[in-house]
Chain A
Amino acid sequence: MASIEFKHVSKTYPGSKAPVIKDMNLEINDQEFVIFVGPSGCGKSTTLRLIAGLEDISSGDIFIDGVRSNEILPKERDIAMVFQSYALYPNMTVYKNIAFPLKIRKFSQKEIDDRVVTAEALCRKKKLSPEETQKCLKKVSRETRFTKDEIDSKVHAVAKILDLEPLLDRKPKALSGGQRQRVALGRAMVRSPKVFLLDEPLSNLDAKLRTEMRSQIASLHKSLKTTFVYVTHDQTEAMTIADRIVVINNGNIEQFDTPRNLYDFPSNIFVAGFIGSPEMNFLNGQFHIENGKYYILLDEKKIYLPGDIDNKQKEIIQPFDGRDVVLGIRPEAISIIAENTATASEDNVFTIHVELSEFLGAEVYLYFEFAGTHCMARIPSIHRIYTGDDIRISLVPSNIYVFDSKTTNTILYSENSVKHSLEDRSEKLE
């Protein structure tokens, strides 16, 4: 169990001018499940390798459990890592793979002292004679590695949790993808490390197995009560199992927040586009204030924003009057107005022509052009809408995001996001 802290960490690979990680500052709490997501080549795996000590840091510091770990060797960091390819030792059986970290590792002096203390307590409990106690303690203090019996019991305990007991005598080549993945997890679990690092561990599994393993990893985190750092490009994985998610792009942290906050209050266009599937619709327009009403002009269409914006939000958004902004709306936030249904107001209600309708079972994807931009809506399949239909849609003001077109930062809801995020975090800590 340990916290991890990045202080101004940068990483540039030899022979490359551009840094992969740029001045990263990050704090991962003890026992937290943090997931790094981002597009390919954004630096998420490199970040994980920096924590593991497999890559040298170009500048800055990494603290693991409060200890500066820049120069500490991987084997001395007390971490465990599960690789994308599982990296099982092909020449060893499942038993030997899981037992290997225990066999190879020598105890530190502190560990030996702790074992002596534990043994002393056990002797006292068993009411052994002083001579017997002395003999036992002498034996324990001489042990620099786990005994065969200790290894055996630990391996079987892990195998039982992961349902690997019938496979202990098999070699990795005789295992399926899911079984290999569980062996890799077992090898990581067996020595109870301070931090678990998982580099896209589910990416080689089929969809069904991935869902199963996802919940297994989440329950493992709960039972082990250890810090988990996980890398994936699959946002479903990230959204379902993470306490907090780090969204990385080009070596920069775009946002570090709870899954809920990332979805509801993205800090910029990148996060808004990356989190959520299908992707958010983005439309370029101009922001205007007219008679105390806020709206965005899109190709002569007025899209009204919520009227109940708080003062802080007003302070942020008012300077944008007359300036170019980007309007964002999620496909699932676009609602359909049934035929012959009267609406209280015709604000934000538009008629569109469906260019393509895709039926997916529970829902339907509608593709259409709106204000000169190709957009998409995700609606429940109860609405029977087909390609070529003309339908009325409503853009609910509270579901609209506004981004500064120059900086790409959110200019509406960004303050709320901070507030919400803090509330969410304090709830978690409680």
Chain B
Amino acid sequence: MTESRLISNPNTEYQKKSHSKTKRVISNVVIYFILILCTVVFIYPIILVLINSFKKKLYITDSPFTFPNAESFNGIENYAEGLSGSGFWTAALNSVIVTVFSVILILLLTSMAAWYLTRVNTWCSRLIYYAFVFSMLVPFQMVMLPLVGVASKLHLDNVFGVIFIYIGYGAGLSTFLYSGFVKTIPTEIEEAAAIDGCSSIQLFFRIVTPIMKPTTMTVAVLNIMWIWNDYLLPSLVLGTNVTDTTLPVAIQVLNAGRYGDVDIGVLMAMIVLAIIPIILFYLVGQKYIVRGVTAGAVKG
């Protein structure tokens, strides 16, 4: 090899660098374009609902994709009408009861189960763990019809009964997430606490639970969003009586009617009201979702 070939040409180096920079800019532009497109596709329906919630009934069907103008703008009339409708507040209370109690019990029971199943490594504990994981793979639609029968027989077809069904459905993913995190907690910490004088209950609540806080937030956020928004389970188990069911079903029932009879403006306003709490909650808790799901994925 000659000396001239060993020494790189500065001009060629510069050209190479500039070429790679152009390539990077183009790829970034493409990526951003795709991401913006995805964002628009996902946010568009929500924006549409929000826009139409401020329009008069007739203008929604006439020009659903336009912003409200002086003629079509209905102020907060739709919201006022929706809130004054009989049953909205009862359904909202039902949703709060079902969501809050289901999530609290899911957090309490699955965190305990996951801790025990992870620490007690027997064939039986492994079998139970895999049963939890398997429950995540079964689609709800496959079991919904027998479930209605079982719920009716066990008298779970009421606001408090449905909480137990939600615990069952939430247990799989929650136990799975908690187990993954418990595996990353060094057993020495628990042993140190046992030597320091903790009983098993104290050990769980005073040491393990505070350490599991990030995963608890993740599990809470995921379950709150799912249970609050769920339509199918309450519609099947709780029925369509507005005072006995949750908000998503109630919104549908309160505004049911033949084509032309339905006040879509009010419907849109109620949907907006129903999703506001969950969007706020998501904005607060979304950082925990990523943190909790990836916890334990990388050795720290």
Query: Which A residues lie at the B interface, using CB under 8 A?
Result: 52-54, 73-75, 77, 79-81, 83-85, 87-91, 100-101, 104-106, 187
A75 and B196 contacting across the interface, CB-CB below 8 Å: yes
A87-B186, A89-B207, A104-B202 known; A54+B191 contact, CB < 8 A: yes
Q: Mark B195-237, 1 if CB is under 8 A from A, else 0.
A: 1111100100011001101000000000000000000000000
Q: Is the CB of A83 within 8 A of B197?
A: no
List A contacts of B197 (CB < 8 A).
Answer: 75, 101, 104-106
Among A75, A79, A80, max chain B CB count under 10 A is at: A75
Bound Cα distance A373, B194 (Å): 52
Contact A81 B210 (CB under 8 A): no
Give A15 Cβ to nearest chain B Cβ, in Å: 10
* Chain B positions near chain A (C-beta within 8 angstroms): 186, 188-189, 191-199, 202, 206-207, 210-211, 213
B194 CB contacts on chain A under 8 angstroms: 54, 73-75
B252 smallest CB distance to A (angstroms): 44
- Assess whether A79 is in contact with B189, with CB atoms less than 8 Å apart: no
Tell me whether A87 and B207 are in contact (CB under 8 A).
no
B206 near A52: Cβ-Cβ < 8 Å: no
CB distance from B124 to the nearest CB of A (A): 14
Instruction: Please judge, given known A-B contacts A80-B195, A101-B197, whether A87 and B206 are in contact too, CB under 8 Å.
Output: no
Bound Cα distance A73, B195 (Å): 8
Cβ–Cβ < 8 Å partners of A83 in chain B: 188, 191-192
A104 touches B195 (CB 8 A): no
Contact for B186 among A79, A81, A85, CB less than 8 A: A85
Number of A-B pairs, beta carbon distance below 8 Å: 60
7 contacts between A and B (CB under 8 A): A52-B191, A75-B197, A75-B198, A87-B186, A104-B193, A104-B197, A105-B197
User: Is B198 a contact of A104 with CB atoms below 8 Å?
Assistant: yes
Across-interface contacts of A53 in B (CB, < 8 A): 195
Measured CB to CB, the closest approach of chain B to A168, in angstroms, equals: 18
Residues of A with C-beta under 8 A to B191 = 52, 54, 74, 81, 83, 87
20 other A-B residue contacts (CB within 8 Å) besides A74-B191, A87-B189: A52-B191, A54-B194, A54-B195, A75-B195, A79-B195, A81-B192, A83-B188, A83-B192, A85-B188, A87-B186, A89-B192, A89-B193, A89-B211, A90-B211, A91-B210, A91-B211, A101-B197, A104-B202, A105-B197, A187-B196
B199: chain A residues within 8 A (beta carbon): 75
B300 to chain A, nearest CB (A): 10
Using CB atoms, name the residue of chain A closest to B212.
A91
Question: Which of B188, B196, B197, B199 has the most chain A CB atoms closer than 10 A to its own CB?
Answer: B196
State whether A104 and B196 are in contact (beta carbons under 8 Å apart), knowing that A85-B186, A87-B186 are contacts in the complex.
Answer: yes
CA distance A79 to B196 in the complex (A): 8
- State A101–B207 Cα separation when bound (angstroms): 12
Q: How far is the CA of A84 from the CA of B189 in the complex (A)?
A: 11
Nearest chain B CB to A342 CB, angstrom units: 63
Residue of A54, A80, A88, A104 near B206 (CB, 8 A) is A104
Q: Name the A residues within 8 Å of B186 (CB-CB).
A: 85, 87
A91–B206 alpha-carbon span in the complex (Å): 10
CA distance A82 to B214 in the complex (A): 27
Q: Which 3 A-B pairs have the closest CB atoms?
A: A87-B188, A91-B210, A105-B197
Contacts of A80 in B (CB 8 A): 195
User: Is B189 within 8 A of A89, CB to CB?
Assistant: yes
- Please, which residues of chain A bring their CB within 8 A of the CB of B210? 91
Taking a contact as CB atoms under 8 Å apart, the answer to whether A105 and B196 are in contact is: yes
Question: What are the residues of chain B within 8 A of A84 when measuring CB–CB?
Answer: 188
Asked whether B196 lies within 8 Å of A101 as measured between CB atoms, the reply is: yes
Distance in angstroms between the alpha carbons of A91 and B193 in the assembled complex: 13
A54: which B residues are within 8 A, CB to CB? 191, 194-195
Nearest CB on A from B132, distance (A): 24
Measured CA separation A287–B258 after assembly (Å): 111
Cβ contact within 8 Å between A52 and B193: no
A105 to chain B: closest residue by CB? B197
State A73–B196 Cα separation when bound (angstroms): 11
Best-surrounded residue of B191, B197, B202 (most CB of chain A within 10 A): B197
CB-CB under 8 A from B211, the residues of chain A are 89-91
In the complex, which residues of chain A have a beta carbon less than 8 angstroms from the beta carbon of B207? 89, 91
Which of A74, A85, A90, A106 has a CB less than 8 Å from the CB of B195? A74
Query: Roughly how many angstroms separate A101 CA and B194 CA in the complex, as a whole number?
Result: 10
Closest to A197 in B: B195
Instruction: Please state if B195 and A52 are interface contacts (CB–CB under 8 Å).
Output: yes
Chain A residues whose C-beta falls within 8 Å of the C-beta of B192 in the assembled complex: 81, 83, 87, 89, 187
What distance in Å separates the Cβ of A231 from its nearest Cβ neighbour in chain B?
13
Docked pose: A101 CA to B193 CA in angstroms: 8
Known contacts A85-B188, A89-B207: A100-B196 contact under CB 8 Å:
yes
For residue A73, which residues in chain B have a CB less than 8 angstroms away from its CB? 194
Minimum distance in angstroms from A208 CB to a CB of chain B: 25
In whole angstroms, what is the CA distance A104 to B196 when docked? 7
Considering the complex, give the chain A residue whose CB is closest to the CB of B189: A87
Instruction: Please give me the residue from chain A that is nearest to B191 by CB atom.
Output: A54
A174 vs chain B, min Cβ distance (A): 15
Across-interface contacts of A87 in B (CB, < 8 A) = 186, 188-189, 191-192
CB distance from A248 to the nearest CB of B (A): 21
Q: Nearest CB to that of A90 among chain B residues?
A: B211
Bound complex: CA of A83 vs CA of B187, how far in Å?
11
Distance of A77 Cα from B195 Cα, bound (Å): 8
A52 to B197, CA, bound (A): 12
Min CB distance, A46 to chain B, in Å? Answer: 13
Which residues of the other chain, A, contact B196 by a CB distance below 8 angstroms? Answer: 75, 100-101, 104-105, 187
| Chain A residue nearest to B207 in the complex (CB) | A89
Residues of B within 8 A of A187 (CB): 192, 196
- Nearest-Cβ distance from residue B272 to partner chain A, whole angstroms: 39
Given contacts A75-B195, A75-B197, A85-B188, A91 and B213 within 8 Å (CB-CB): yes
Looking across the interface, which residue of chain A has its beta carbon closest to that of B194?
A: A74
A52 CA to B187 CA in the complex, in Å? 15
Contact partners of A88 in chain B: CB under 8 A? 189
